[in-house]
Amino acid sequence: MKTIIQTSILLCLLTLVSRHSMADDPLPNIIVIITDQHTGKIMTQRGYNHITTPGIDKLAAEGTLFTKSYVTYPVCTFSRKSMITGLMPHKLDDVTVATSVGKTMKDAGYDTGYFGKWHVGTTKLDEIEAWHGFDSYYENYYDSTIYKESKAFLDQTRTKPFFMVTSYNNPHDACELARNISGGDDKYHDGEVDEAMDVALCPPLPFNYEIPLNEAEGHYSRRNQDPGDPHYSSHPTKTWTDTEWRQFLYGYDRLLEKVDARIEDLIDDLDEKNLLENTVIIYTSDHGDGRGAHKWNQKKSFYEESVNVPFIISWKGKTKAGVVDNSTLVSSGLDLYPTILQFAGITEAPAGLHGIDLSPAALENPTGTLTPRDYVISENVQRVYTGHTGGQFNGRMVVTNDFKYMLFDKGVNREQLYDLTTDPGELAPVTDDPAYQTDIADLRQKLKDWVAATGDDFEVDQIVADLESSAELDDIKLNGQSVTSFSPSLKSYSIFINPVETLTVEATPVNSASSVTITPPSDIHGDEQARTATVVVESEDTNTINTYTVVVGFTDESALTPTQDAYVRGGESADLNFGSEIDLDVKQGGNPDFYRKAFLTFDVSSFEGASSATLKLYTTTSKAAPVTLYEADNNWSESTITWNNAPALGTEISTLQIGNVKQYYEWDVTSFVHENAGGLVSFGLYDPSADNSHITFTSKDALGNHPQLVVVPGEATNEDEDEENEDDEDDKNEVVLSTEPSTQQISIYPNPLNNGILYVDLPSNDGAKVHISITDMQGKEIYQNQIQNKNSIQIDTNSWLTKGLYVIAVRTDHATTISKLIVR
Q: Using one digit for the tens of pLDDT, what is the confidence trace for 584-603?
A: 655 544 555 555 678 888 88
- Kindly give the pairing relationship between strand 610-621 and strand 747-754: unpaired
The answer to whether residues 263 and 313 belong to one domain is yes
- Least Cα distance to 411 among 434, 390, 442 occurs for 390
Using CA atoms, how far apart are residues 258 and 191, in angstroms rounded to an integer?
Answer: 8
Give the pLDDT confidence score for residue 13 in this predicted structure.
32
Please indicate, yes or no, if residue 477 is contained in any of the structural domains.
no
Are both 694 and 763 inside the same structural domain?
Answer: no
- Of 706, 741, 765, which one is at a domain's C-terminal end? 706
Alpha helices in 287-331 (DSSP H): 304-307
Statement to judge: residues 287 and 359 lie in one domain:
yes
If asked whether residues 694 and 735 sit together in one domain, one would say no
- Among the candidates 332, 355, 372, a domain finishes at 372
Interatomic CA distance for residues 12 and 240, integer angstroms: 58
749 has pLDDT over 50 = no
Q: Read off the pLDDT of each residue in 478-496 and give the average, rounded to a whole number.
A: 76
Which of residues 312, 344, 372 is at a domain's end?
Answer: 372
pLDDT digits (tens, 9 = 90+) for 84-115: 999 999 999 999 999 999 999 999 999 999 99
Both 71 and 166 in one domain: the answer is: yes
Total number of domains constituting the chain? 3
**Cα(first)–Cα(last) distance of the chain, in Å?**
93
Q: Above 60 in pLDDT, residue 803?
A: no
User: How many helices, marked H, and strands, marked E, lie in the chain?
Assistant: 17, 39
Rounded percentage of the chain residues whose pLDDT exceeds 90? 51
Q: Tell me the per-residue pLDDT of 644-664, one tens digit each, with 9 for 90 and over.
A: 667 788 999 999 888 777 677
What is the reported pLDDT for 697?
66
As a dihedral over the C-alpha atoms of residue 169, residue 290, residue 282, residue 420, rounded to 10 degrees, the angle is: 170
Is the predicted pLDDT of residue 483 greater than 60, yes or no? Answer: yes
330 within some domain: yes
Which CATH number characterizes residue 701's domain?
Answer: 2.60.120.260
Query: Does a structural domain hold residue 359?
Result: yes
Is the confidence at residue 541, as pLDDT, over 60? yes
Is 546 within a domain? no
| % of the chain at pLDDT higher than 70 | 76
Mean pLDDT, rounded, for 218-240? 79
| Alpha carbon distances (Å) from 258 to 65, 119, 184, 191, 194 | 21, 21, 22, 8, 13
Query: What is the span of the domain harbouring residue 781?
Result: 731-823
- Beta-strand ranges (E) seen in 117-187 are 136-139, 162-167
Rounded CA separation 497/807 (Å):
11
- Give yes or no for a cis peptide into 171 (omega within 30° of 0): yes
Q: What is the CATH number of the domain that holds 281?
A: 3.40.720.10
Does the residue 556 lie in any domain? Answer: no
Do 698 and 750 belong together in one domain? no
Judgement on whether residues 752 and 702 belong to the same structural domain of the protein = no
Candidate ranges 209-218, 316-325, 471-480, 664-673; pick with highest mean pLDDT: 316-325
Is 239 domain-assigned? yes
| Residue 755: band (very low, low, confident or very high) from pLDDT cuts 50, 70, 90 | low
pLDDT exceeds 50 at position 751: no
Least trusted range by pLDDT, from 96-110, 309-323, 743-757: 743-757
* Same domain (yes/no): 66, 30: yes
In a domain, 167, yes or no: yes
Write down the pLDDT at residue 731.
33
Of residues 644 and 345, the one with the higher pLDDT is 345
Lowest-pLDDT choice from 66-75, 259-268, 283-292, 403-412: 403-412
What pLDDT does 217 receive? Answer: 82
Same domain, yes or no, for 690 and 629? yes
Q: What pLDDT score was predicted for residue 762?
A: 63
- Residues 239 and 274 both lie in one domain: yes
613 with 710: CB under 8 angstroms? yes
In sequence order, the β-bridge partners of residue 572 are: 569
Q: Mean of the per-residue pLDDT values for the chain? A: 82
- pLDDT band for position 804 (cuts 50, 70, 90): low
β-bridge pairing 63-66 and 323-325: parallel
Whether pLDDT at 720 is above 60:
no
* The pLDDT of residue 449 is above 50: yes
d(CA 89, CA 104): 19
Paired strand residues for 793: 760
